[in-house]
Structure 1
Amino acid sequence: MACFAIFAFLGLCSIEPAPAAGPSGIVAVIDGDTLDVGGARVRLHGVDAPENAQRCDTGSGAQWACGDWVTQEASLRFAGREARCETVDIDRYERIVARCAVDGADIGETLVSEGLALAYVEYSRAYEAQEAEARAARRGIWRGEVQAPWDWRRAKRAGQGIPDPAPERIEAGGCAIKGNISGGGRIYHMPGDPYYGRTKIDTGAGERWFCSEAEARRAGWRHAGS
């Protein structure tokens, strides 16, 4: 206090600046863990989502485009909304690494809780409990089998083990949810569901593919398990 009283007018006191605020603004989703927030590129801290080109296993041996699906689901939840972020670091790609929230809800926590991303425990253990709960409930990517994104990237860099999509996935244009018409009406099967692998889609009969559960529900279809 004496410093301020005696020397402040001379400019001889220095005050440590507060940490710079993180970016804020309208969200554009790049992939499951990367956003543009108010025009700034942000890598979410403590989470790692399947890459856009990554594919997962349904549990019955079939492959599906889980990376694209995660990006679509993240877009449905956050694109066009306003986020506020707290900067944690700057990564080697010059992206801001940050914790971000929409309406006070932590985006990273939401993604992990809903089975759209993994807890990135190499950098933070904040979301371990949410991942364990999502795994137990078989939400999102946990309906089947998923390679950890960091392992997928390592394998890709080494030129190893990245499988080609199954033929029916190419025909589906990258959307993994099967809209089937049966005696039970219009129902959709998620990757990892019991009858997903054996369900064949006949678009000529009015059956179709969906890119998200929200899209299927809006079209009037119900989940096969409901």
Structure 2
Amino acid sequence: MARNFQVMRDGVVALALLAFLWLIAAKLNDEAQTAYTGRFHAADGDSLAIGDERMRLKNIDAPELSQTCERDGRPWACGRQAKEALQALVDARDAKCEGHERDRFKRLLVVCKAGGVDINAAMVRKGLAVAYGGYGPEEMQARAEKAGIWVGHFEMPRDVRDREHGARPEAGKLFAW
């Protein structure tokens, strides 16, 4: 009987020790979230600033500020419109941006919310940004509704950046929807 008690006690202690070690490992993997609230400034359709902190909206890519797209056979300032739409979304009193990763330019990669709305998703849903590693359903909705850039012809923002910085664009073609 004493032997059974020892075996059971040792098993419980070993299980408790494993659980404790698992909790420590999980805690070490947690990365601190950085959160900002306040008055944000949209630099373009997917970049924000607050004070000295520079942020980029995670998993989306908006037209470059100087980029034009084509709608009804005429150019329109889709980059400027994306910036204005982002500014309007972050102007909400309760706008909050959170993230824990940084891009190669040391910008904090963030997901922003205001009034319970995911701002990153809203930009894609409005057709003023393409999905870039996330927000696929929102992009499909924007395409189906021919919202924003999906109403006409446009170049992918990455191709515009590559051309402006001297790199050769991947496809170098316009998208038409």
Contact 2:31 2:100 (8 Å CA) reproduced: no
Match of 2:150 in 1: 142
* Cα distance in 1 for residues equivalent to 2:130 and 2:120: 9
* Cα distance in 1 for residues equivalent to 2:29 and 2:77: 46
1:159, distance to aligned residue in structure 2 (A): 7.7
> How does 1:75-224 map onto structure 2 within 5 Å?
75-79=87-91, 81-120=93-132, 124=133, 126-158=134-166
1:80, distance to aligned residue in structure 2 (A): 5.3
The aligned amino acid for 2:111 is: R
* Cα distance in 2 for residues equivalent to 1:19 and 1:105: 24
Which of 44, 47, 57 pairs up with 1:31?
44
- SS of the residue aligned with 2:122? helix
TM-score (norm 2): 0.71
Distance 1:81 1:117, change over 3 A: farther
1:166-200 deviations in whole A, cap 9, x for unaligned?
Answer: xxxxxxxxxxxxxxxxxxxxxxxxxxxxxxxxxxx
Q: Quick check: which has more Rg, 1 or 2?
A: 2
Contact 2:89 2:119 (8 Å CA) reproduced: no
Query: Are 1:69 and 2:69 matched, yes or no?
Result: no
The aligned amino acid for 1:22 is: T
* Cα distance in 2 for residues equivalent to 1:44 and 1:82: 17
* Cα distance in 2 for residues equivalent to 1:105 and 1:30: 21
Contact 2:60 2:124 (8 Å CA) reproduced: yes
Aligned-CA RMSD value: 2.6
Unaligned runs of 5+ in 2: 1-12, 14-23, 170-177
Contact 2:100 2:110 (8 Å CA) reproduced: yes
**Structure 1, 38-47 or 128-137: larger mean CA deviation:** 38-47
TM-score (norm 1): 0.57
Distance 1:82 1:42, change over 3 A: farther
**Structure 1, 98-107 or 35-44: larger mean CA deviation:** 35-44
Task: Kindly tell me the number of residue pairs found equivalent between the two proteins.
Answer: 145
* Cα distance in 1 for residues equivalent to 2:155 and 2:103: 23
* Cα distance in 2 for residues equivalent to 1:39 and 1:158: 29
* Cα distance in 2 for residues equivalent to 1:41 and 1:91: 11
1:84, distance to aligned residue in structure 2 (A): 2.6
Q: Which has the higher helix share?
A: 2
